[in-house]
Structure formats: C-alpha cells, structure tokens
Amino acid sequence: MDYTVQPAASLHGTLQLPADKSISHRAAMFAALHQGTSTITNFSEAADPHSTLDCMRGLGVVIKEPGENTIIVDGVGRDGLQTPSGDLDCGNSGTTMRLLSGIIAGSGVSARLTGDESLSARTMKRIIEPLRAMGAKIEAREDDYAPLNFRRDDELKPLHFPLPIPSAQLKSCVLLAGLFGDGPTEVVETLPSRDHTERLLNLTVEEKEGKRMIRSSREDVVPGQSCRVPSDFSAAAFWLAAGAIHPQAEIILPGVGVNPTRTGALGILQQMGADIEITNEDREGAEPVADIRVKSSPLTPVTITGKVVPNCIDEIPILAIAMLFADGTSRVSGAEELRHKETDRLSALADILESVGADFEEYKDGFTIKGDPDFRPEQAAFRSFHDHRIAMAAAVLALMGTDTSTVINGHCTAISYPGFWKDLSMLTN
C-alpha cells in the first residue's frame, strides 16, 4: 500500500514509541531458554518480533498473549526445545534467523529456517562459518542463503571467535550456540556493537586493551526475562531528525532505550547542533531508559567513520536526511554493512535522494551529501524497496516538501513501527 505525505506546517507532540525490536526478540528467545515463566510487558507489536514468537512456538515453547502487549513465556530450559513439525518462518527478520540459528545449532534440534524474499537474499555465511567450526551440521542454498537446514547433532565444541565484522547478530548467534557447550565460547569484539545479549543473559564481559571478550557456556544460568521493554531508540531517531530539521518543531519521546551501544545517532545529531534534551534517566531491568525532547535546530555538517557506524547502523538512512538539511557537506565511510540490510540501503538512499535532486554521491562503503537548510524537495514518489527504515526516512523527507509526496509500499514500516503513519499524522495535526 502506498502512503501520501503532505508537507508539514509544524511537528508538535508527545509520542509513545513502539517497543524496542532488538530487545523484544532477545527477551522472548532467552525467556524460552530459561527454566521457568517470564512475563514481558510492552513487547513489540511489530512484525519482526512476532516472527520470533512464531518460531519459538514452532520449537514447542508455550507463549501466551493475554493482551496489552504482554507476553507470558513458559520457558523450557536449554534442553527442552522440540523438533518442529514444519519450517520455522523468520519472515523479514535477520535477527530472528541469525540468533535462532545459534540456539538451534546449540540445542541439536533438526530444523529448517526460511525467510521472505529479502531475508533469503541476505548472506548467512557469516553465521554458518563459526557454527560449522563449532561442529554444527548446516546446509544452505549456495552454501550462503536461506533456507537453512540444521541436522540433529552432538554437543558443539566451544569456539574462540574474534568477530570479523562488528555485527551484534553474529556475536549473539555464536554466544547463544556457546550457551550449550561444555567449555567457554569466547567472542572478541574490537568495535562494540549493541550489547543487549550480554546484558539480558548476564554474560561475563572482560575489557582489555580496547577489546571486549564475551563468554558463554552451559555453566551460565539463563536468567528469567520478566521486564518492561523500553521504547525503541531506532524508532525515536526518525523523530529526532525530523524535529531537528523542521523549522517549527518540538517533539517529546518518553521512556526510550538509551543503551550507549545503540545511541550513536543521538551523539551525531547533537554534534550537528541538534537541540536535544535527555531527562528522567532510569532503568528498565538491564537497560537504561530516558525521556528525549528535540526542537528545531540549525544543523552543521558531520563526518561519520567506521568506528561509530555499529552504534548507528540502523539510523544512517535517517541521518542522511538530517545531513541534507545541514549547512555544508557531510560524509559517511566504513558503512558497507548497509548493503547487507533488508535492502542495499546505500543504493536505496541514492535512489531517494537523487529523486529529489540532492547532491549525493554514493561510494562502496558510504556517501557524501551536500546539505542546505533551505532545501525543500518537490513532489516525489519515493521507492521504499520494501525496507521499513527506507520508507520512514523517505516519509520524513516528504514532510519537508513543497507538495504532496508518496511513499511506495509504505506499509512495510510495520516491520518495526506499526504505528508510524498514525504518529506522523498526529505530529502534523
């Protein structure tokens, strides 16, 4: 379904954002591995975490949904997962497929993991290689892509694994497989990626000489996951950018997850001069939360390098829109990983920005973009490439337009943010 967006005269309001997608996936999976019941409130309503719930049910875990975004998971413990009677459909969700692969390989259950067209085109080699090094028996299409077939096997060997790419999905996959091993599996991280897995599983983390060593083994007790999931910083980022670039804006976002491994975009927007205030800092279980307020701000250009990319990887599409309204040329490098997301996000950004005549140059691992605070795009039909974050970035760009624009297949926002279009209209009315 296509969505039309009118230019916004102003953006004002307080939004209760959707629950964090990364934490929702993990809380549900880890609750299943816990021996006992977990009650998770404010669980994400989005499509991706529901793919995780469906897969966990396929593995024999009873999950009740009594309403109001609460889920009750009857954990079966590490040895209680059952062989599914059919495929486990991960939908569009890379996190579901990659984390679940670690659990399935570790538990020794035979299972076949499938995904939609986009997920089936995303590389799985990065997880297949370490899992095979641990002894898992996996077959994949072209030895790289879903469907992934796991064959029942004996216990996995522990692995010492320096992460070849700063990916939290890869890190989590190996650590989850390691939870089933009888010796410590150790993942070594040089550029820190989101650390929800370590936090929620309470794993041992050692920091030495600028590296993080994270260990897991059968000796780790999987804690219960009863918690309230914070609001998703990755959803907040769209409104932080919109509020900063729009000349008549003030947006308040309460109870947002502000885990420092996730909030790279907050620091980047502040560095660009965005008027952002953080208040009511608190905790929801293992995760820090806060209220965030943003107001219209003149922005200066910024340079983003590979070092900070893992902490803003999902926010780069919307940061590119903010850069378009900064006074000068911004640069992003070390972000080749964007080519392996739900779509190739570097070329999708090029498509969107070039369609409004922006001065955008795409490179193998990033881009440059010449911003102008007075830039106002004319009417456009933005292609979303069925990618939720591209659709939402295009919608924010359309709010700055001179005429009504369209976001093609804008319904894909439901992958992470089902209420996006409602929130957009609330802010503009």
Smallest distance, ligand S3P to C-beta of residue 338, A: 9
Q: With beta carbons less than 8 A apart as the criterion, state whether 178 and 157 touch.
A: no
Nearer to ligand S3P, 118 or 169 (CB): 169
Residue 314 known to be catalytic: yes
List the one residue from 22, 92, 225, 263 that touches ligand S3P (CB under 6 A): 22
Q: Are strands 145-151 and 227-228 parallel, antiparallel or unpaired?
A: unpaired
Residue type, 68: E
Query: What would the 3-class secondary structure string for the chain be?
Result: CCEEECCCCCEEEECCCCECHHHHHHHHHHHHHCCCEEEEECCCCCHHHHHHHHHHHHCCCEEEEEECCEEEEECCCCCCCCCCCCCEECCCCHHHHHHHHHHHHHHCCCEEEECCHHHHCCCCHHHHHHHHHCCCEEEEECCCEEEEEEECCCCCCCCEEECCCCCHHHHHHHHHHHCCCCCCEEEEECCCCCCHHHHHHCCEEEEECCEEEEEECCCCCCCCCCEECCECHHHHHHHHHHHHHCCCEEEEEEEEECCCCCCHHHHHHHHCCCEEEEEEEEEECCEEEEEEEEECCCECCCEECCCCHHHCHHHHHHHHHHHHCECCEEEECCCHHHHHCCCCHHHHHHHHHHHCCCEEEEECCEEEEECCCCCCCCCCEEECCCCHHHHHHHHHHHHCCCCCEEEECHHHHHHCCCCHHHHHHHHHC
Smallest distance, ligand S3P to C-beta of residue 120, A: 16
Smallest distance, ligand S3P to C-beta of residue 324, A: 22
Size of the site for ligand S3P (CB under 6 A): 11
Smallest distance, ligand S3P to C-beta of residue 388, A: 10
Q: With beta carbons less than 8 A apart as the criterion, state whether 59 and 88 touch.
A: yes
Query: Per residue in 10-29, is it b (16+ CB within 10 Å) or e — as a string?
Result: ebbbebebbbbbbbbbbbbb
Nearer to ligand S3P, 95 or 330 (CB): 95
Smallest distance, ligand S3P to C-beta of residue 130, A: 14
Smallest distance, ligand S3P to C-beta of residue 420, A: 16
The catalytic position among 195, 314, 351, 387 is: 314
Measured CA to CA, the distance from residue 246 to residue 11 in angstroms comes to 7
Q: Which of residues 23-62 bind ligand S3P (CB under 6 A)?
A: none
Q: Which of residues 306-325 bind ligand S3P (CB under 6 A)?
A: 313-314
Q: Which of residues 206-225 bind ligand S3P (CB under 6 A)?
A: none
Measured CA to CA, the distance from residue 389 to residue 420 in angstroms comes to 11
Smallest distance, ligand S3P to C-beta of residue 126, A: 8
Nearer to ligand S3P, 8 or 119 (CB): 119
Nearer to ligand S3P, 68 or 117 (CB): 117
| Residue 193 touches ligand S3P, criterion: CB under 6 A | yes
Nearer to ligand S3P, 46 or 156 (CB): 46
Measured CA to CA, the distance from residue 90 to residue 50 in angstroms comes to 9
Question: Which residue shows structure tokens 């502000």?
Answer: 258
| Residue 266 touches ligand S3P, criterion: CB under 6 A | no
Smallest distance, ligand S3P to C-beta of residue 177, A: 15
List the one residue from 95, 118, 185, 413 that touches ligand S3P (CB under 6 A): 95
Nearer to ligand S3P, 194 or 246 (CB): 194
Write each residue from 149 to 188 as x if it is in contact with ligand S3P (CB under 6 A), else as -, in one continuous string: ------------------xxx--x----------------
Nearer to ligand S3P, 175 or 253 (CB): 175
Smallest distance, ligand S3P to C-beta of residue 186, A: 18
| Residue 93 touches ligand S3P, criterion: CB under 6 A | no
Measured CA to CA, the distance from residue 37 to residue 393 in angstroms comes to 38
Nearer to ligand S3P, 194 or 199 (CB): 194
Nearer to ligand S3P, 92 or 296 (CB): 92
Q: By beta-carbon distance, which residue lies closest to ligand S3P?
A: 22
Enzyme catalytic residues: 314
Q: Which parts of this chain interact with ligand S3P (CB under 6 A)?
A: 22, 95, 167-169, 172, 193-194, 313-314, 337
